[in-house]
Structure 1
Amino acid sequence: MPSGLELLMAHKDEPKASVLQSKVEKMERMPWIEKYRPKNLDDIASQSTTVQILKKNLETSNLPHMLFYGPPGTGKTSTILAMARQLYGPSLFKSRVLELNASDERGISIVRERIKDFARLAVSNPSESDLASHPCPPYKLVILDEADSMTGDAQSALRRTMETYSGITRFCLICNYVTRIIDPLASRCSKFRFKSLDEDSAFARLKYICDEESIKVDDDTLREILRISQGDLRRAINYLQSVSKLLTEEKDDNGDVIMADDGQATKQEEVRELFGFMPSSLLSQFLSVLEAKDLNAIFEFLQEKIAKKGYNASTLLNSLHDRLLLGDRDGDQVDISLRLSNRQKNQIAMTLFDADNKLTQGCDECIQLLNCAIEISKEL
């Protein structure tokens, strides 16, 4: 029989085991974009120049005010969060880093109250254990995500706050459109442009996630997911997670997911259909109808094959752009873009641009698609 001491030690270890199990279960339930968010600068994909500069700043522990800008899903927020963790460590991260989404809190009041109150606080001395493992510089960090959504008055107020408390607080502004940041604010920051991820880096990240989640998927399906995500790695990871849950047909002996497609991978057309993209065969039929220049047939096709099946108008315009202007092939069929002159492509591009612009402004999808289809038909 176990001794009393052994029983006591067993009971003491039970809470630790339950806490550990709880953390594991929480990780399993997390969205993959959070679960696989980079933990340090070495994990950041593709942004090599920006990462090198930030690593140099990390070595000196002397950060300037920073402005990160670029398309969505390119790693702007992940980069500054990873750098903050390396800068302060887990124990000081919560007390020295303030992360705000400026699209939710965009008025001048949030600058005058919450940001200013945080910025004016002096920092305490870190412990010896924190200094031994992390730089822990004597200043705090304010991260303003989607700063281009802030009003002009809020940005002007933020400029003064940055000047006044720069000794104990550094700012990192994150935005998609740098032109929406006022010049006096942008001139006080070091600018870092984040470019769309190259296919190889994004593919390697998706492959890593598949290996970690024990998902069996072929390379062509991953590249199709990357193509329809248009350089947005966050969207690609979300797409991959949706595919892994919805297009599975069986599991292996360990309960790991195996993607459908003869027990090995998801078909590319199934992926496109899942995310609202028109199948290539249906798109080819649509282009044939447009080339026939039959107005009744065009109207009937839009009503029966597109509207009733719920295909998104913006997604259809993107598919037409790829097929007619970029030359995406449809199997072994002749590429239609090869038969179009530069003048025809220019007119089609203007038509697609006009339709997309009107859809963005809230115009009726059916009317805009019909008008766009008729104009493209005239050029084919």
Structure 2
Amino acid sequence: MMEIDSTPLPPRNKGKGKLVPVELDGLPWVEKYRPNDLSELVSHEEITDTLKTFIEKNRLPHLLFYGPPGTGKTSTILACAKKIYGNKFGSSILELNASDDRGIDVVREQIVNFASTKTIYRTDFKLIILDECDNMTNAAQAALRRVIEKYTKNVRFCIICNYVSKIIPAIQSRCTRFRFSPLALEQVEHRLNVIVEKEHVQLTENGKKALLRLCKGDMRRALNILQACHAGYEQVDEEAVYNCTGHPQPQHIDSILQTMLRDEYTTAYQRIERMCIDHGYALQDIVTDVFEKLQEADLPSETEMNMVTQLADIEYRLGEGANEKIQLGSMIGAFKLALPVV
């Protein structure tokens, strides 16, 4: 009978002679390049400096992180956890995604059971991370308020959300709040340059500009787009970025804007509808880009105000599930009505 060689395979070789472990090679870049230390975070120096001081003095309060997606909220608290507990922190941290576990039963069972036991590490407290906490029900938040109060000696809570207005005031008052603003484009670009070099991505200058424009300060979105484009295209240029994301290309937005400003209503409607069908554009993306172009156009203030007001209503209706064809007609009509009669 043939013997099977059980010797583990060596890590795969990728790049210029650098060995990359198998377990990291297939990871999404968002996880592969997630910061492991507070010093590796690319922005929000004031927040990280404050957290370092809390940790050094062993006075970490309950934390509330809020702000847009992809701005480093989860990465920051995980880096804090590694600084407090080291790499072996599994039994000292409970991480729950409140989008999945958001009922009152989770608060009464999982959180209370974890909070009521003591840690074996040198620190005096354990850490509970509640991600996307703005999706928790009000009843669960009310129950959580009492748990935070009761187990303060044993546990610290880090509550993470996108919209702080959806967190009840009783929880907000028990936490130290930190707002994570969208990252500056220079900070996103610096991080992208590091990853482009490590992954040997052929990223052109116009491709980088398109990537930075579309990510809008969201590092997660920037990395996901870059990885998708690298997988689908040998060279990541502007066209590849827009094709990969399905976002309207700038020259098409210019064409749409000129058509609405100059052409007769029926002609404009037919041209824009044909462009949306041919390229698979979503009207919501067109509305957003047209608004940005309006800021650059030389239009009378009153005309621009009327157009922006109508665009805001159209965007809201699209978000509520309105018919795109009707809203396209509404957008063109809004432009025709807002333009001064010559």
Using the size of structure 2 for normalisation, the TM-score is: 0.91
Aligned pairs for 1:1-380 (under 5 A) are 15=7, 18=9, 24-91=21-88, 93-124=89-120, 126=121, 136-248=122-234, 259=235, 266-325=236-295, 327=296, 337=297, 339-380=298-339
Distance 2:212 2:250 in 1: 17
Retained in 2: the 8 A contact 1:293–1:377? Answer: no
Distance 2:30 2:294 in 1: 33
Distance 1:280 1:160 in 2: 52
Name the stretch that deviates more: 233-242 or 215-224. 215-224
Distance 1:19 1:49 in 2: 42
Q: What is the SS of the residue equivalent to 2:30? A: helix
Deviations 1:67-113 (A, max 9, x none): 0001111000010011101111122x111111111111111111011
Q: What is the SS of the residue equivalent to 1:39? A: coil
Query: What code does the residue aligned with 2:22 have?
Result: E
Identity of aligned residues (%): 36
Structure 1 runs of 4+ with >6 Å offset: none
* Aligned pairs, number: 329
Gaps of 5+ in 2: 13-18
Query: What code does the residue aligned with 1:102 have?
Result: A
Root-mean-square deviation (CA, aligned residues, Å) is 1.9
Deviations 1:208-237 (A, max 9, x none): 111111223234322320111111110011
Retained in 1: the 8 A contact 2:207–2:239? Answer: no
1:293 deviation in Å?
4.2
Q: What is the SS of the residue equivalent to 2:21? A: helix
Computing the radius of gyration from Cα coordinates, the structure with the larger value is 1
Query: What code does the residue aligned with 2:326 have?
Result: I
Gaps of 5+ in 1: 1-10, 127-135, 249-258, 260-265, 328-336
Query: What code does the residue aligned with 1:355 have?
Result: I
Distance 1:273 1:345 in 2: 30
Query: What code does the residue aligned with 1:174 have?
Result: I
Query: What code does the residue aligned with 1:117 have?
Result: N
Distance 2:256 2:158 in 1: 48
Deviations 1:309-339 (A, max 9, x none): 32011111111011112x2xxxxxxxxx1x2
1:18 deviation in Å?
3.5
Match of 2:15 in 1: none
Query: What code does the residue aligned with 1:194 have?
Result: F
Retained in 1: the 8 A contact 2:96–2:129? Answer: yes
Match of 1:263 in 2: none
Q: What is the SS of the residue equivalent to 1:215? A: coil
